[in-house]
A and B are shown apart, each in its own frame.
Chain A
Amino acid sequence: MAIPISYNFRNMRQRKAATLMTALGIALTVTTAIFIMSLLAGLDAAFRTSGDPQNVLVMRKGSAAELSSGIPHSAAAVLKTLPGVARDAQGQQMASGELVVIVILPRNDGTGDTNVTMRGMTPMGRELRPKIHLVSGRWPADGQREIVVSTSITKRFFNAAVGDDIRFGKNAWKVVGIFDAAGTAHDSEVWADVHQMATEFNREFGVSSVLLHAYDQPSAEALVQTVLADQRTKLDGQLETEYYASQTKSGGFIRVVGIIVAIVMAIGSSFAAMNTMYAAVAYRMREIATLRVLGFSRASILLSFVIESLMLALLGGIVGVVLMLPFDGMSTATSNSVTFSEVAFSLRVTPGVIATALFFSAMMGLIGGLLPAWHAARQNILTALRG
């Protein structure tokens, strides 16, 4: 049997100040790591939950985003008649020609103006996105300067509540409703009637994109091929889900910077753990020698100190997780490098993030503890007995 863990636990308690300072240092590193990971998890979730695998998004060839795409009305009309496009209960083709523009809105936290995606659609556009529903007010009426905004937009921008007027384009638009985007990328959007937008933004020649709905997933995939093969329209089609998945790229910068910051901090924290463990070993030199005289092997001394270092680091990890839990669900936004507009998303402290954070802190403990534990185990009994 090995040296009991209560021995390590009580020694950590004995040296409260050193234990707490080191654990706190590790905790701060872990909070940083969790912050970055939950940011990325939230961003991933915003894009991954966006899109319907039965929807096909059609854009101009070579466009990476709807903003840079344009489809003439003639081509849009052809798309609606393609075989594989579903019809709704009323027998209407389930296809939505949509206009996407960027408007500038003032944030209400004093950090200035930012780009927001404005999407124009007919009621069919909403039918193709059943996850999204109104939480207050009503949908915009046809031919009116009316908009609905997402719950995230209403929280973060001036004049974005029902009844308010927002000025962009040529005139002021009235906010008539708030919609819940169910955590999708539409959470960063303002919606209006497509015809009204075409007039206001001089886009009468066509639409930005066309969203087509297929009867099922295999026919959606077939529809993609039909669009690609159509020589009349010469357009690009892809599953809506794939389009949003490709936009996760906008998290790339956060990911790279985050990983670098986390690694630098982790190295620092490993050194802190190492320093604490070296001090613990030095302080307990005679105890270590005594344990050896009693018959404990070098291996059990090594294991005991590695365990202690792991306990120390996990304590820090748990403190870090507890410190970050209140931030779960906190919403924030970043600029999408593909659409040049804001993407709203929530920090998500998922079980995966917590597990990774604890694993990360255990690694710091292991790296920081191994050398001091090795030093403890290598001690000559006679030298160590002299204290």
Chain B
Amino acid sequence: MSETRNIVEVRDVSKVYKRDAFEVTVLEHVTLDILSGEFVALMGPSGSGKTTLLNMIAAIDHPTSGEMRVNGSNVFALDDAEAARWRNENIGYIFQTFNLIPVLTAFENVELPLLLTRLSASERKEHVMTALSMVGLGDRVHHLPKQLSGGQEQRVAIARALVTDPNLLLADEPTGDLDTKSATDVLEILKRLNEESGKTVIMVTHDPHAASYAHVTRHLEKGELLPL
């Protein structure tokens, strides 16, 4: 397996929280490679460290020790402002609770990451409309989040994650707050983005049905990555 094909390389990463006299180990010597174009599910019980690992890949969280390269960058070496810019250019992040901005319309929510780019207003519009039609919401452009169903909100959030055309999508329990039908819609979209657009998808989930969409499922338990 050549190094260049790995989009994520996790090397011996550990994370320990110190709380007063106690030390809580969240991740313990995790080493993991994710191939470009893969759809990977990270499973495990609550507190197993799967979201922490995902957040480290997104340069939101830092380890106590270990190294990590994501999309060719040493993410742990980035300072705060660099990490923000890096996220904007390299990843799309999908939250369990959608995290749309309530006062902005679907269009404006999806447009947000593009405001940090040099694109013109008309170019941004084109990108937003493309992203919204990819998730089947081309007709909900001017709706506010509260006027959308949970499934539709999550699809807007996916459009927001992919509007900058990143090659890595990170999803934290994307179906956790959805009914079965909406969950299936969202998973189908992620699958399509993976298969047709070649996006690498890393998805944290509890749900075996959701995990069944992935090519690879990795299990974490008490901070340790279980062997395949």
Contact = CB atoms under 8 A, between A and B. Distances in A.
Interface residues of A, number: 26
Nearest to A292: B84
A293 B87 contact: yes
Interface string B30-70: 00000000000000000000000001001011000000000
B112 A291 contact: yes
Interface in B78-134: 80-81, 84-85, 87-89, 93, 95, 97, 99, 101-104, 108, 112-113, 115-116
Interface stretch (A3-11, A153-161, A220-228, A230-238): A3-11
Given A294-B87, A295-B116, A296-B116, A381 B60 contact: yes
Contacts of A11: 103
B199 interface: no
A164 interface: no
B191 interface: no
A286 interface: yes
Interface string A8-40: 001101100000000000000000000000000
B125 to A, nearest CB: 14
Residue among A11, A14, A289, A295 with max Cβ neighbours from chain B (10 Å): A295
B155 interface: no
B99 A382 contact: no
Given A7-B101, A7-B104, A11-B103, A294 B61 contact: no
A296 to B, nearest CB: 7
Contacts of B112: 291, 294
Residue among B80, B84, B87 with max Cβ neighbours from chain A (10 Å): B84
B55 A382 contact: yes
Contact of A382 (B60, B89, B108): B60
A131 interface: no
Contacts of A292: 84
Nearest to B112: A294
Contacts of B84: 292, 295-298
A291 B88 CA distance: 10
Interface in A294-322: 294-299
Contact of B104 (A1, A10, A13): A10
B81 A290 contact: no
Nearest to A13: B103
A204 interface: no
Counting chain B residues whose Cβ lies within 8 A of the other chain, the interface size class is 20 to 34
Contact of A287 (B60, B101, B115): B101
Contact of B101 (A290, A299, A381): A290
A300 to B, nearest CB: 9
Contacts of A287: 99, 101-102
B87 A7 contact: no
A287 B95 CA distance: 12
A293 B93 contact: yes
Contacts of A7: 101, 103-104
A300 B171 CA distance: 25
B108 to A, nearest CB: 8
B208 to A, nearest CB: 26
Nearest to A286: B99
Given A290-B95, A382-B55, A382-B60, A295 B103 contact: no
Interface string A270-301: 00000000000000001101111111111100
A291 to B, nearest CB: 7
Residue among B93, B101, B104, B160 with max Cβ neighbours from chain A (10 Å): B101
Contact of B115 (A1, A13, A297): A1
A346 B93 CA distance: 63
Contact of A294 (B80, B81, B108, B160): B160
Residue among A2, A7, A381 with max Cβ neighbours from chain B (10 Å): A381
A295 B87 contact: yes
Given A294-B87, A294-B93, A298-B80, 10 more contacts: A4-B115, A7-B103, A10-B103, A286-B99, A287-B99, A290-B99, A295-B85, A297-B85, A381-B60, A382-B60
Interface of A: 1-4, 6-7, 10-11, 13-14, 286-287, 289-299, 381-382, 385
13 contacts: A3-B115, A6-B108, A10-B104, A13-B103, A291-B101, A293-B58, A294-B113, A295-B84, A295-B88, A295-B89, A295-B113, A297-B80, A297-B85
5 closest A-B pairs (Cβ-Cβ)?
A295-B88, A10-B103, A290-B99, A1-B115, A294-B113
